[in-house]
Amino acid sequence: MKVRVFDTTLRDGEQTPGVSLTPSDKLEIAKALDELGVDVIEAGSAITSKGEREGIKLITRENLNAEICSFVRPLTVDIDAAIECEVDSIHLVVPSSPIHIKYKLKKSEDEVLDLAVNAIEYAKDHGLIVELSAEDATRAELNFLIKLFKAGENLADRVCVCDTVGVLTPQKSEELFKKITSEIKLPVSVHCHNDFGMATANTCSAILGGAVQCHVTVNGIGERAGNAALEEVVTALKFLYNIETNIKLEKLYEVSRLVARLMKLPVPPNKAIVGDNAFAHEAGIHVDGLIKNTKTYEPISPEVVGNKRRIILGKHSGRKALIYKLKLMGIEASEEQINKIYEKIKELGDLGKYVSDADLMAIVKDVLGKDLEEKIELDELTVVSGNKITPIASVKLHYKGEDRLLIETAYGVGPVDAAINAVRKAISGVADIKLEEYKVEAIGGGTDAIIEVTVKLRKGVNTVEVKKADSDIIRASVNAVMEGINLLLQ
């Protein structure tokens, strides 16, 4: 059995409060989703705005392998906007619960049925694939739900049951979809929201009940508590239910980080499958088990989903974890030196501190008396900013690996942004390093306060977190980024 994946990251996902993508952002995500292997990309809602239509048009003109879809209401103006964007299909959403019909539409059930049929006929007359979606279906009367789907059965191409406010349970989900698929001849989709944290489980149960297509979003983003997470659903289907999709699992982590970066929605560390802690281990007993056999504490290999195993050092770590971590980092130390490093890690852990790679390197430097080798050194930094002046920064870096200078200039929304952009631009030919997080905290009061900057940088699946303090925020920021870059290049 193979289940189709309908990705709504660019529509339902973009409806996450505070998120707004540019047309070029939407295109970049759509291309990544297509490479990931999704079957349908819901590129947006064409009626929303001129910018939304521009974004959808960019995607449809790219000639991607995936079916490109637009969300529409049962209104000709919505369908016309979708037609203008040259999409392959429409996701026609029709309210189906008594509360939606009475209070939102203020219509009778018969009027709703007429709306749906007229909209489907209009769309089919214009050559569109139609997925008829029942909004709030899980609070609808089952008889009306079946009636709605049957009204469109000889016209539409697919139907979809929407758990709009996330009130399904896995048991109810499987039962509901068994009933619907026994009555409806068309392929049935499932669209779940995560209000009670059940979206992934409900989606899998719906598929067990007969659904052949699932609506998902990358990282589970979406309105309120979000939607069923693409990465969770497809991996659960494969490894727990032996059900296949067309998704290239090894690209999941990469696509997750792209969406997080462009939508400015950091992935929680404990997020299943793609979180930084999904395959991270600190407890001594766990790391000891991993060293003997990774299957002791990992249900699947992190590489399968493009993630990476991480050994975290802290107060719960054992000596074997430290030795294993040092080996991974290519650091040789005597037993006495390992004992000293171990003691310092425990001291930091008891203070409630997470020992980052930068912290570990500082401890190693202190114990072994070795400096961190700077592969790239900051020679010069110039920043110009002021009233009515777009901030611009120039950097000159010394790349010791090839003994050459890297000189670049970049603009930014502020002087710090310009400086970091210039550094990242300068090293782009050496390594693709992304700034994932940036935090600033003032230590003390007054205009001369010390500023502590924390940056989290990523190179592939490797991440480092570095903190630097200085009275100058630009200097603190650039120094933190430079140290992080050198750590990632080790």
User: Is the four-CA dihedral 267, 270, 271, 275 of positive or negative sign?
Assistant: positive
The pLDDT score that the predictor gives to residue 273 is 97
Q: Count CB atoms within 10 A of the CB of residue 142.
A: 12
| CA separation, residue 360 to residues 63, 301, 353 (Å) | 48, 26, 12
The pLDDT score that the predictor gives to residue 178 is 98
Residue 89: inside a domain: yes
Residue 269: inside a domain: no
Same domain, 343 and 383: no
Q: In the beta sheet, which residues pair with residue 398?
A: 377, 405
Sheet strands (E) in 314-461: 376-386, 389-399, 404-411, 434-443, 450-459
Q: In the numeric block, which tokens belong to residue 460? A: 């592939």
139: which residues sit within 8 A by CB, 6+ positions away? 97, 98, 99, 164, 165, 167
Residue 271: inside a domain: no
CA angle, 217 then 223 then 228, to 5°: 35
Range of the domain at 406: 376-488
The pLDDT score that the predictor gives to residue 380 is 93
Q: Count CB atoms within 10 A of the CB of residue 204.
A: 26
Question: What crossing angle do the helices spanning 335-350 and 357-368 adopt, rounded to 10°?
Answer: 140
CA angle, 43 then 46 then 50, to 5°: 110
What's the number of domains the chain is made of? 3
Residue type at 7? D
Which position has the token pair 């219509």?
107
| Cβ atoms of residues 229 and 217 within 8 Å | yes
CATH number at residue 80: 3.20.20.70
Q: In the numeric block, which tokens belong to residue 425? A: 């631009």
| CA separation, residue 310 to residues 281, 358, 480 (Å) | 6, 14, 22
25: which residues sit within 8 A by CB, 6+ positions away? 55, 262
How far apart (Å, rounded) are the C-alpha atoms in residues 21 and 373? 40
How far apart (Å, rounded) are the C-alpha atoms in residues 490 and 479? 17
Question: Which of 368, 401, 420 corresponds to the end of one domain?
Answer: 368
Same domain, 334 and 442: no
User: Is the four-CA dihedral 144, 150, 153, 158 of positive or negative sign?
Assistant: positive
In whole angstroms, what separates CA 267 from the centre of its chain? 6
Same domain, 434 and 479: yes
| CA separation, residue 334 to residues 326, 330, 341, 342, 361 (Å) | 11, 13, 10, 12, 16
Question: Which of 321, 346, 368 corresponds to the end of one domain?
Answer: 368
Same domain, 434 and 317: no
Helix (H) and strand (E) counts for the chain? Answer: 16, 16
Same domain, 126 and 71: yes
pTM of the model: 0.81
DSSP state of 13: I
Same domain, 218 and 349: no
277: which residues sit within 8 A by CB, 6+ positions away? 269, 270, 310, 312
| Cβ atoms of residues 436 and 458 within 8 Å | yes
Same domain, 351 and 398: no
Same domain, 317 and 174: no
How far apart (Å, rounded) are the C-alpha atoms in residues 220 and 408? 38
The pLDDT score that the predictor gives to residue 448 is 64
Same domain, 426 and 335: no
How far apart (Å, rounded) are the C-alpha atoms in residues 74 and 123? 10
How far apart (Å, rounded) are the C-alpha atoms in residues 68 and 6? 10
Which position has the token pair 């409060």?
17
The pLDDT score that the predictor gives to residue 370 is 61
Same domain, 167 and 84: yes
Q: In the beta sheet, which residues pair with residue 158?
A: 131
Residue 456: inside a domain: yes
Which position has the token pair 């997020």?
271
Same domain, 149 and 11: yes
Please, how many CA atoms are within 13 Å of residue 449, restricted to the half-sphere of its CB?
11
How far apart (Å, rounded) are the C-alpha atoms in residues 138 and 436? 38
Residue 275: inside a domain: no
Which position has the token pair 């499958």?
273
User: Is the four-CA dihedral 225, 226, 228, 232 of positive or negative sign?
Assistant: negative
Residue 274: inside a domain: no
- Which 3 state secondary structure label does DSSP give 26? helix
How far apart (Å, rounded) are the C-alpha atoms in residues 8 and 191? 10
How many residues appear in the chain? 490
Same domain, 393 and 291: no
Residue 59: inside a domain: yes
Question: Which of 263, 288, 320 corresponds to the end of one domain?
Answer: 263
Question: How would you write the pLDDT of the chain (490 residues) with one tens digit per residue?
Answer: 899 999 999 999 999 999 999 999 999 999 999 999 999 999 999 999 999 999 999 999 999 999 999 999 999 999 999 999 999 999 999 999 999 999 988 899 999 999 999 999 999 999 999 999 999 999 999 999 999 999 999 999 999 999 999 999 999 999 999 999 999 999 999 999 999 999 999 999 999 999 999 999 999 999 999 999 999 999 999 999 999 999 999 999 999 999 999 998 989 989 999 998 888 776 767 776 776 777 888 899 999 999 988 777 777 777 888 888 888 777 888 888 888 888 888 887 777 776 777 678 778 877 887 655 678 989 999 999 888 889 999 999 998 878 889 999 999 999 999 999 999 899 888 888 888 888 888 776 666 678 888 888 888 767 788 888 888 899 999 998 998 888 888 7
The pLDDT score that the predictor gives to residue 409 is 95
- Which 3 state secondary structure label does DSSP give 432? coil
CATH number at residue 398: 3.30.160.270
Residue 270: inside a domain: no
* Selection from 157, 161, 95, 159 nearest residue 128 by Cα: 157
